[in-house]
């Protein structure tokens, strides 16, 4: 996926994977990007967070889906 932009930043890989699942199930390509040495140093997620990346043209739709999910009761 070329031209990726950050749609969300979370505190854990698990939370980012849930968001990616939400986006993919709604037809938006997404991936998790974490600087945690390939999972060997998970504590590094706390300093920089874990990013959810999407193609630039889908950014607005992705952020709207994420916002809707976060505001749902």
Residue 64 lies in a domain: no
**DSSP track, 16-63:** HHHHHHHHHHTT---EEEE-STTTT-TTHHHHH-EEEEEEGGGHHHHH
Residue 50 CB-density burial (10 A; 0-12 exposed, 13-18 middle, 19+ buried): buried
pLDDT of residue 3: 92
pLDDT of residue 15: 93
- Structurally, the chain folds into a number of domains equal to 1
Residue 67 lies in a domain: no
Residue 62 lies in a domain: no
pLDDT of residue 70: 87
Residue keyed to tokens 């749902």: 72
pLDDT of residue 38: 53
Query: For 37, left (φ over 0), alpha (ψ -120 to 50), or beta?
Result: left
pLDDT of residue 17: 95
Structural domain range at position 38: 4-54
pLDDT tens digits in sequence order for the chain, 73 residues long: 569 999 999 988 899 999 999 999 999 999 998 865 555 555 554 556 899 999 999 999 999 999 999 887 7
């Amino acid at each position: 996926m070329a031209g990726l932009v950050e749609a969300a930043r979370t505190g854990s890989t698990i939370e980012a994977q849930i968001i990616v699942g939400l986006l993919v199930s709604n037809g938006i390509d997404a991936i998790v990007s974490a600087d945690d040495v390939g999972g060997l140093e998970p504590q590094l997620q706390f300093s920089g967070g874990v990013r959810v990346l999407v193609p630039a043209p889908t950014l607005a739709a992705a952020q709207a889906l994420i916002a809707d999910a976060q505001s749902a009761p």
